[in-house]
Structure 1
Amino acid sequence: MSRGKGQVAVITGASNGIGAASALALASEGFQVALGARSVDKLDEVAQAIAKETGVQPFVMTLDVRNEADVKHFVAAVVEKYGRIDVLVNNAGLAKGVSNVIDEADTTNWDQMIDTNVKGLLLMTRESVPHMIKGGNGHVINLGSIAGHQAYAGGAVYCATKFAVRAITDSLRQELLGLPIRVTTVDPGMVNTGFSLVRLGDQEQADQVYAGMTPLTAEDIADCVAFAATRPKHVNIDTIIVKPTDQAGAGKVARRL
């Protein structure tokens, strides 16, 4: 069933991990997908995989969500191509480093997390939602985290950005009340993508994060995104909190070592 037929979905951070998996899941549901990320080479690989699977070539364009001019140019190009935006998946995000607030932390990591996870999400939302209002149909799906529900030592700034995502999502839902636009947040626990490698900068350390347990996959989260996006128009999935069976909360993990 092509439940997304005739609709256009924009996915940020679509070059790998959850973004790439969500793009494929939505394309498989019949959505026309527009992919944005900083690495256009990786985007092309994702687009080729989607075209092979669905027979439809996605829209691909380089995008740095931290840059306002970049965001404006990207959204304008999508609208010029398709004439509309129906779904925005704000997936672009990252964690950089693990350090206590009082440590001599690299503040460039703070800037990167705040600018990408919060400012980037806000910019993409601001530019995309007016097109949803004009088209009479829309859905903003924000990728949050259980770190937006539970803070933990060493993750203050990352957790703060995900708490912000939750607050923005809740506020946006109230601001758009009465309009045919849905607002959802998908908040995963431990997902084995490139997340930990980006955060820690070392493959061995990243592998240890998931040692002795079975984490979620990018495809698991993409299933949640596609589920929310394909509900009947009168149904809004507010929040999906999804964790591995081996995880009960931040830092609460069953390991078989």
Structure 2
Amino acid sequence: MKTAFVTGATAGIGEATVRALVQAGWRCVATGRRKERLDALVAELGPDRVHAAIFDVRDEAAMDEAIANLPTEFAAVDLLVNNAGLAQGLAPAQKSSLDDWQTMIDTNVTAMVRLTRKLLPRLIERKGAIVTIGSVAGSYVYPGGNVYAGSKAFANHFTLALRADLHGTGVRVTSIEPGMVETEFTLVRTGSQQASDELYRGADPMTGEDIADTIVWIAGLPPHLNINRLELMPVNQDFAGFRVARGDG
């Protein structure tokens, strides 16, 4: 039985990915900060199939401890799903909070590269796979996206660079770049359930399960096939057109 290491597994895409992988026959290390949610996943899916690793990805010491203390049956990692990430704020750059910017960089960039580097020896040994959840925001910027868009551009391109560096190792690497997915994303970003409801209302957005099913498909491909990057949007979303600001004259 193969083992996946899934970050940000307490909600949304990460939680759905753990469920989908277990259903497909995998074991999962499920990581996150919210113990009660991870404990519920373990209770639902079974301690033989899910190991809860409770830590904040921004805490390197806690990350190291969690990796060092993986039970033997979960220690050989065949798949890393770099899912943990967030956005904070929608203000333009000149009005944004530097604390919000730092939180996004620490979570979306620093934590991702640290964890990836720490697990690379195991993934190479197992000829495993890495799937990173980037975003269409890394390719199509929008007002208020600033550091979030920049962090996802980094995630998208870091993943492609990993693909180049891991040439010849047998490790497969994929950048999944979703558009609108209805999760806790907007609630976390704005702090408003109303704002979240309004964003998704009538849009028929993608779901965490849609992305999870895509991850399971990629993970189950024959070892000689690699999906380099995959961009997904709901039918009702597209990449926006250019804007023009006009003067009064």
> Same-fold call, TM > 0.5?
yes
- 1:114 maps to 2:105: yes
The match for 2:166 among 176, 185, 194 is 176
Q: 1:17 aligns with which of 6, 12, 23?
A: 12
Aligned-residue identity in percent: 37
- 1:134-180 CA-to-partner distances (Å, cap 9, x unmatched) read 23x21111001100111111111100000000111011111100001
Say which is worse superposed, 35-44 or 75-84, in terms of deviation: 75-84
Matches within 5 A, 1:233-252: 233-249=223-239
List runs of 5+ in structure 2 lacking aligned partners: 243-249
Q: 1:152 aligns with which of 142, 145, 169?
A: 142
Partner of 2:51: 59
5+ unaligned residues in a row in structure 1: which ranges? 1-5, 253-257
CA contact (8 A) 1:47 1:58 kept: yes
Q: Which residue of 2 aligns with 1:7?
A: 2
**Alpha carbons of structure 1 residues 194 and 175: separation in structure 2 relative to 1, 3 Å:** same
Deviates more, 1:40-49 or 1:78-87: 78-87
State the secondary structure of the residue aligned to 1:247: coil
Number of equivalenced pairs: 242
Establish whether residue 36 from structure 1 lines up as the match of residue 34 from structure 2.
no
1:226 is paired with a residue whose SS is helix
Q: CA deviation at 1:57?
A: 3.7
Q: Deviations over 1:18-41 (max 9, x none)?
A: 000001111111111111101111
Take 2:23 and 2:40, find their aligned partners in 1: how far apart are those partners? 17
Q: Does 1:90 align with 2:82?
A: yes
User: Which residue of the partner structure matches residue 203 of structure 2?
Assistant: 213
Secondary structure at the residue paired with 1:35? strand
* Structure 2 partner of 1:163: 153
State whether residues 169 and 183 of structure 1, in contact with CA within 8 Å, keep that contact through their aligned partners in structure 2: yes
Say which SS state the counterpart of residue 102 (structure 1) adopts: helix
Work out the CA distance in 2 between the residues paired with 1:145 and 1:250. Answer: 15
1:83 and 1:109 map into 2 onto residues whose CA distance is: 34
Shift of 1:78: 2.5
Q: Which of 36, 42, 67 in structure 2 is aligned with 1:47?
A: 42
CA distance in 2, matches of 1:128, 1:71: 11
> SS at 1:186's partner residue?
strand
| 4+ aligned runs moved over 6 Å, structure 1 | none
Give the RMSD, CA atoms, in angstroms.
1.6
Whether the 8 Å contact between 1:65 and 1:123 is mirrored in structure 2 is: no
Tell me what 2:114 maps to: 123
Give me the TM-score of the superposition, normalised by structure 2.
0.93
